Structure 1
Amino acid sequence: MEKFTLTLRSKTAVKQYDGAFMPYEKELLAEILTAIENKDANKLAWFNGFGDSLRAFIMNVYAYRKGLEFGFTDIKFDQYGWFKRPAFLDYDVVKSGCSERL
């Protein structure tokens, strides 16, 4: 599969994308279209850093932004090009004090 790159001429490809089933996917596509219409090459370059297809851009940007909600700012990808989920380093395991079945 050929690598897809967002450019100022990608408006048709973005509009024809038929994989947006979740509200966040439609919002990200609208954000990409707005960047194209506003000729925001920096924003498009930022999106391009998240994969090699429109689907990868959407999924990886969404995963990155969800991580930001918890304070994670690193951008890392696995060997397949998908966003690598950050992990909490410190956490407590809560054990149930009840050992008999109810």
Structure 2
Amino acid sequence: MRVVKPAVYILASKRNGTLYIGVTGDLAARVSIHQQDLEDGFTKRYGVHMLVHYEQFDTMPDAIAREKQLKKFRRADKLALIESGNPQWHDLTSEVQAWRS
């Protein structure tokens, strides 16, 4: 049985490209939806499909609070956050898709 935790995540169109911040109860499933363009919206319109940062939380209210905090960050701070944990801007999708097993 896989354990699913609430998470806040950042998707990018490319290194230093367009960013999207979201929150979800199932990161692997949500990233898959974004990457397959299954919903109309910002990520589909701007080709924002690369998972570059995520943080997991024990509760959804904690994840939502962090999402709101990140959305208030200046762009430079968002870029610094991404680069602190993922300096090469690797797509982390395979890391979270492994959780689906």
Tell me if both proteins adopt one fold, taking TM over 0.5 as the criterion.
Answer: no
TM-score of the superposition, structure 2-length normalised?
0.29
TM-score of the superposition, structure 1-length normalised?
0.28
Return the index of the structure with the highest Cα Rg: 1
